[in-house]
Structure formats: structure tokens, C-alpha cells
């Protein structure tokens, strides 16, 4: 009896408001869990909102998960400013420099496309022949020279350059998607950090109250020193876990501040519900990726570019025409009479027309190289598809693992842990069990909720990666033309 009185003292201090419930043990009061119900495995028609035993067969009622059984006691911090995912995305698209860098690369490619189709400039010059006193001053004049590009080579060069610009347009789309992926990844991480802090804060408070009770019991000789040391070390361990959760949240928000280019951004409450996980189908996801992936569209643009490049190389053997024409003043005398020269030649027209005959060099090597590059580009489309398929397989496997864990915690582990806690607490209230058992069950419940939050965060991050077209994050900086194209075409698994 004395032992029960001591345990009763623990319960009264550790669990506020428990005294009123213990005062009426005959009422068999149970804590109700929102969204949770209990039924008999032998008599399904027997249902109860509280844990207990079946009145027909005396079997323990099993928990049946309701629609909100995952995190019934967790909620986002109240008060203060709240940020939505849409707010963070808009901030990133507005302020992150990688978007501006990608736009600059698109503008540079547009400039190269414009330049590729321009005609060569004409040349103006002066010439003179036989300029001396002997000839009476010789011939002095001016000319204009123009190269006429034939065979439609300029048009093909511009079309190839426009396809290169299309590659950089896809690069811009990819960079925006990468940025959104990073924002969403960190958003769900921050939302999970927010909930983990609440879980661990509750557990830390429980541990501190247990230490205080142990000290009071030790003071009256009802607890040994090992019991007190155990309670203190457990409280310190839980405190370290809470500090780790706080540090993790600070890290996540520092990363968000850098990504959003908002150095003064501080942790605030986020709006969102981690438990509303979308259902993904692998085949539908792959179809969407094939249809919208900037990587694949960029590879297809390179194929079109290579086709124009082959045609351009084949036209290279068609010679351009060089034309030059002008006027000159010929000061030489044209006729010589009996008394000497009688008249100068005066103004004369001049012209030259020339073409290069493709006898030895018909750009055979250039055509061969262009065709080989075209074949490489066509195979790159297939390689990109296979790479996307393989990467989706890995991400979808991780998504399924996390989603199964979420469902297991939500529908089985957490309800059973809550039922165990309710039963231990109920037994104690009826003076049929020791409160430490209820305390351990409550701690297990908190720890399962900790793992549940981690599984939710992991599942959402896999969703972000799959719905984000497998582009990863935006930590890499858009580089040069060749680097950027390489990033789009040869992304490693």
C-alpha cells in the first residue's frame, strides 16, 4: 500500500489534472485520442472511443486508426507571422541569382543566333596603278567589294544557332525547377523540424518533471540514488535531442535564407500539413517526366541543331561569290599625235568576279564530323530517357519505403503505442499497475511520433524530387555554354 501511495505521488506531480481522475477509479475513465477508436477483434460490432476490454469476451480492444491518427497532439506554433510554400517560392524566383544567370545565357545565345544569319559587310577601298611622273600620274580610284554567301548557308547557320538558344531556354526552365525543388525540399524539412521540436519539447518536459519527482522522493527516502541518476541522465539525453532539433531548424532556415537571398530571414511558423501526402504512380510519373523534362527537351533540341549543322556542312562546298567594282581616274595619255600626247584616258570602270573552285576541299571532314555529332545527339536522347527511368526507379523506391513507413506508423504503430499508454494509465488509475510503465509507454509514444515525422519529411522530399522532374536542387551555378549543356545532357545518377 505504501508503494502505491508513492507511485500515486509521482502521478499527481508528473501528470497535471490526474488527481481528479484518480479520485473516481470506479468510473474507469480513459484519455480519448482524437481520430482514434477501439474495437474487439472477436466482436467487430463492439466499438469504443476509449481503450478497455470487450464486454462480451473480455479481450482487450484494439485500436482502429481514424483519419487524423498520425499526429493528434502536434500542431504548428501559434501566433506570429506565418509563411506559405508559395511565399517562399516567389521569394526564390525573384531574388535568387541563378535565375538571372540562366536568363543571361539565353540572351547570349539569342545574340549568337542573330549574328549567325547576318550578311558579311562590304569592303570599301582605294587603289592606284602606275602612279609616276613618267605616266603622267597613273590611275587612281576607289572600289567596293562584297562576298555573296550562296547555298542558303546563312539561313542554316541561324537555324542551328536558334536550336542552341532553345537548349538554353530549357536550361532556364531547368534552373527554375531546380530552385523550386530546393525551396520545397527545405520547406518540408523546416516543417518537420518545427514538429520535431514540439515532440521533443514535450518529451523533455516530461523528463524534467520525472527528475523533480525523483528528487522529492529521494529527499523523503522513497527513492534510491541510482533511480535519481537514471532519471537525470535520461533527462540530459532528451535535452540533447531537443538541442539537436533546434540546431537542425536553425541550419534549415540558414539554408533557406541563402537560397532565397534573404540574409535577415529568421525562423517563423510555417503553414502546411505534412500528413497530406500525394499518391504517386510510377508509370504516370515517368510519362510526365518524359513529357515535361527540360533535360529531355534540351537533348531533342540538340538533335535538331545537329540536323541543321549537317546540312550546313554539306552546303559548305558551294562556293561563295566575290564581286568587286569601282571607278578610277586614269591620268595616262591615250593618244600621241605629231606634237606629243593629246588626251588623257579619264574615268574608267573596273570590276572583278571570283569564286573558289571546290576541287580538293569539299568539306568532307566537316560533313563526317557533323554526321557523327548528329548520331551522338540522337543516342543522347535515348540515354537521357534511360537515365530518367533509372533515376525514377531509385526515387520511387525511396518514396514507397517512406510512404509505407508513414502508413505503418499512422495506422498501426502509433495507434498501438497510444493504446498501450492508455491501458497502462488506466491500470494505474485503478491501482492495478505502476506509473513508470505508463511513463515508459508515453515516452515510446513520443519517440514513435519523432520517427513518424522523420518518415513524413522523407516522403515529401521524395515527392518533391519526382514531381520536380528529377532535377535535384539549385545549388549549382549556371556555367558556360558547354558546361550548361553538359549538365543538361549528362547528369549523373
Tens-binned pLDDT, residue by residue, of the chain (493 aa): 333 333 333 433 344 433 333 233 333 333 444 445 666 544 556 777 666 767 765 555 655 544 444 444 444 444 556 889 999 999 999 999 999 999 999 999 999 999 999 999 999 999 888 777 665 677 889 999 999 999 999 999 999 999 999 999 999 999 999 999 999 999 999 999 999 998 888 888 877 877 887 787 777 776 677 777 877 888 898 899 999 999 999 999 999 999 999 999 999 999 988 999 999 999 999 999 999 999 999 999 999 999 999 999 999 999 999 999 999 888 776 666 666 666 777 788 889 999 999 999 999 999 999 999 999 999 999 999 999 999 999 999 999 999 999 999 999 999 998 888 888 777 766 666 565 676 777 778 888 988 999 999 999 999 999 999 999 875 554 544 444 444 434 343 3
Residue 385, exposed/middle/buried by CB under 10 A (0-12, 13-18, 19+)? Answer: middle
Point out which residues pair with 48 in neighbouring strands: 38
CA–CA separation, 41 and 33 (whole Å)? 20
Taking alpha carbons only, the member of 386, 381, 397, 383 closest to residue 466 is: 397
Q: For residue 286, what is its C-alpha cell?
A: 515517368
Q: What are all long-range contacts of 363-368, with beta carbons under 8 Å and residues at least 24 apart?
A: 363/313, 363/314, 363/316, 363/317, 366/313, 366/316, 367/310, 367/313, 367/314, 367/316
CA–CA separation, 210 and 11 (whole Å)? 10
- Cβ atoms of 163 and 111 closer than 8 Å: no
Instruction: Tell me what pLDDT residue 57 has.
Output: 56
Q: Domain residue spans in the chain?
A: 2-65, 82-333+343-489
Domain 82-333+343-489, CATH number (from 3.30.70.20, 1.10.3720.10, 2.40.160.40, 1.20.1600.10): 1.20.1600.10
Give the CA distances from residue 306 to residues 55, 163, 302, 467, in Å, rounded to whole numbers and listed in that order.
79, 9, 6, 31
Q: For residue 245, what is its C-alpha cell?
A: 532539433
Strand (E) or helix (H) holding 87 = helix 85-95
Instruction: Tell me what pLDDT residue 404 has.
Output: 96
| Bridge-based pairing state of the strands 139-148 and 321-337 | antiparallel
- Cβ atoms of 327 and 347 closer than 8 Å: yes
Instruction: Tell me what pLDDT residue 157 has.
Output: 96
DSSP classification of residue 254: H
Instruction: Tell me what pLDDT residue 1 has.
Output: 36
Instruction: Tell me what pLDDT residue 334 has.
Output: 66
Amino acid at each position: 500500500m505504501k508503494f502505491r501511495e508513492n507511485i500515486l505521488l509521482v502521478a499527481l506531480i508528473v501528470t497535471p489534472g490526474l488527481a481528479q481522475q484518480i479520485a473516481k477509479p470506479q468510473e474507469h475513465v480513459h484519455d480519448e485520442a482524437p481520430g482514434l477508436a477501439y474495437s474487439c477483434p472477436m466482436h467487430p460490432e463492439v466499438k469504443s472511443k476509449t481503450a478497455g476490454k470487450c464486454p462480451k469476451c473480455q479481450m482487450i480492444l484494439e485500436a482502429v486508426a481514424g483519419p487524423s491518427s498520425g499526429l493528434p497532439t502536434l500542431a504548428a506554433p501559434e501566433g506570429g507571422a506565418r509563411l506559405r510554400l508559395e511565399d517562399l517560392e516567389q521569394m526564390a524566383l525573384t531574388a535568387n541569382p541563378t535565375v538571372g544567370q540562366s536568363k543571361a545565357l539565353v540572351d547570349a545565345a539569342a545574340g549568337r543566333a542573330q549574328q549567325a544569319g547576318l550578311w558579311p559587310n562590304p569592303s570599301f577601298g582605294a587603289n592606284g596603278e602606275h602612279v609616276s611622273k613618267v605616266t603622267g600620274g597613273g590611275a587612281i580610284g576607289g572600289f567596293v567589294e562584297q562576298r555573296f554567301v550562296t547555298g542558303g548557308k546563312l539561313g542554316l547557320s541561324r537555324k542551328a544557332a536558334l536550336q542552341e538558344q532553345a537548349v538554353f531556354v530549357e536550361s532556364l526552365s531547368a534552373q527554375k525547377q531546380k530552385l523550386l525543388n530546393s525551396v520545397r525540399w527545405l520547406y518540408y524539412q523546416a516543417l518537420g523540424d518545427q514538429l520535431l521540436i514540439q515532440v521533443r519539447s514535450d518529451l523533455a518536459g516530461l523528463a524534467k518533471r520525472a527528475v523533480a519527482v525523483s528528487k522529492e522522493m529521494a529527499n523523503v527516502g522513497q527513492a534510491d540514488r541510482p533511480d535519481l541518476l537514471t532519471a537525470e541522465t535520461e533527462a540530459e539525453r532528451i535535452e540533447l535531442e531537443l538541442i539537436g532539433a533546434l540546431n537542425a531548424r536553425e541550419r534549415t532556415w540558414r539554408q533557406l535564407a541563402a537560397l532565397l537571398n534573404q540574409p535577415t530571414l529568421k525562423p517563423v511558423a510555417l503553414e502546411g500539413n505534412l500528413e497530406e501526402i500525394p499518391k504517386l504512380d510510377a508509370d504516370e510519373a515517368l510519362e510526365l517526366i518524359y513529357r515535361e523534362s527540360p533535360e529531355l527537351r534540351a537533348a531533342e533540341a540538340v538533335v535538331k541543331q545537329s540536323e541543321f549543322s549537317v546540312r550546313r556542312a554539306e552546303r559548305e562546298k558551294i562556293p561563295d561569290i566575290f564581286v568587286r567594282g569601282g571607278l578610277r581616274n586614269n591620268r595616262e595619255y591615250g593618244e600621241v599625235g605629231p606634237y606629243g600626247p593629246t588626251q588623257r584616258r579619264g574615268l574608267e570602270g573596273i570590276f572583278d568576279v571570283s569564286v573558289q573552285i571546290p576541287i580538293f576541299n569539299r568539306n568532307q571532314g566537316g560533313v563526317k564530323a557533323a554526321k557523327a555529332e548528329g548520331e551522338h545527339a540522337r543516342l543522347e536522347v535515348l540515354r537521357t530517357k534511360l537515365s530518367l527511368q533509372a533515376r525514377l526507379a531509385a526515387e520511387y523506391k525511396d518514396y514507397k519505403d517512406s510512404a509505407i513507413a508513414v502508413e505503418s506508423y499512422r495506422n498501426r504503430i502509433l495507434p498501438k503505442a497510444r493504446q498501450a499508454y492508455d491501458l497502462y494509465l488506466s491500470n494505474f488509475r485503478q491501482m492495478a499497475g505502476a506509473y513508470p510503465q505508463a511513463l515508459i509507454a508515453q515516452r515510446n509514444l513520443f519517440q514513435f511520433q519523432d520517427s513518424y515525422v522523420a518518415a513524413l519529411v522523407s516522403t515529401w522530399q521524395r515527392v518533391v524530387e519526382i514531381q520536380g522532374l528529377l532535377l535535384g536542387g539549385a545549388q549549382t551555378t549556371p556555367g558556360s555554354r558547354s558546361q550548361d549543356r553538359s549538365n543538361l545532357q549528362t547528369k549523373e545518377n
